[in-house]
Amino acid sequence: MNLDVPAADAAAPRKVEAPTLVVAAAIYGGWLAATYWHDAIPVPLLAVAGGWLIAWHGSLQHETIHGHPTGSRRVNAAIGFPPLALWLPYAIYARSHVAHHRSPAITDPLHDPESRYVTHARGVAGMAARAQATLLGRLLLGPPIAVLTLLVEERLRARRAPVAVLRDWVPHFLAVALVAEWLAWARFGIGHYILLFVYPGMALTLLRSFAEHRADLSAPGRAATVERARILGLLYLNNNLHAAHHDRPDLAWYRLPAHYRTNRARLTGDARPAYPTYGAIARAFFLKRHDMLVHPAHRDAAP
């Protein structure tokens, strides 16, 4: 799998990063244990553990896309590839995220594939954006909307580049089949797995990205910072310090806090820390829209 990474990531060869390998071992070991002993775990606790593991695995995939924990792209991709969340092929996520970092206009939906903004509020895209404008909508409706959006986009891409689509999806489906085989052997129904692992895991990931970028910020990558996130900081591998990550995408997750502390004034700019905690985000936006749906660059042209 040949994946380009942001230029800063490829600047120098890396040694093996033990903290990330420990996280990877905890994720895969925890996933095997939780799925194997699922019958012995109370359902609420299983949902918490399952959601944590899926979201944590997404954070690990993010690290591998940025060239961690080894100097080998193939090894890193192999570490991040297993589709524990079932729905998103690793190759598609990697390309999308690299394009996000390389975008000449981060947050503009015409240039940034990970933008939450739209060019206009009409049609299905506008409806999807409105459905996720509040944190409640993001957590409840965001997961199915993300899956449906991917399927629609991939169906359109299949018409233009069927071979490329097969190249992305065939290895993914084979790996999903192995996950499904393990779940069947552990007598963990796929429906229960989606409900107790995938859905809460996607919701936790969407909590992180809900207020992650704002078009009005001057920070690197127009990225917001959640300054205090003790437990969720571990879950997100310090990606709550998102301006620091965009400033130095080559830094391993455990080096981001020191970089943020050293460069706090520059990274926050005139915005200061955008949010003190994820609790503050929840209190402010649980039932209130976070931002305008239409990107500022397109508001004059929007009806």
Identify whether 42 is preceded by a cis peptide bond (ω within 30 of 0): no
Query: At 297, is the pLDDT very low, low, confident or very high (cuts 50, 70, 90)?
Result: confident
pLDDT digits (tens, 9 = 90+) for 65-114: 999 999 999 999 999 999 999 999 999 999 999 999 999 999 999 999 99
300: confidence class by pLDDT, cuts 50, 70, 90? confident
- The answer, yes or no, to whether residue 11 has pLDDT greater than 50, is no
According to the model, what pLDDT value does residue 10 have?
44
Residue 292 confidence (pLDDT): 87
CA distance 77 to 91: 9
**How distant is the alpha carbon of residue 268 from its chain centre?**
22
Supply the mean pLDDT for the chain: 92
- The Cα–Cα gap between 227 and 86 comes to 31
Of 247, 207, 215, 196, which Cα lies nearest the Cα of 53? 196
- Helices (DSSP H) in 37-89: which residue ranges? 43-65, 73-80
Each residue's pLDDT tens digit, 207-249: 999 999 999 888 888 999 999 998 999 999 999 999 999 999 9
pTM of the model as a whole = 0.94
- Where exactly are the structural domains of the chain? 7-298
Query: Residue 212 has what pLDDT?
Result: 92
The model's confidence at residue 6, banded by pLDDT at 50, 70 and 90, is very low
Q: What pLDDT shows up at residue 1?
A: 36
Whether the predicted pLDDT of 290 surpasses 60? yes
- Whether residue 20 contacts residue 252, with contact meaning beta carbons closer than 8 Å, is answered with yes
pLDDT digits over 143-177, tens only?
999 999 999 999 999 999 999 999 999 999 999 99
**Per-residue pLDDT at 271:** 58
Asked whether residue 298 carries a pLDDT value surpassing 60, the answer given is: yes
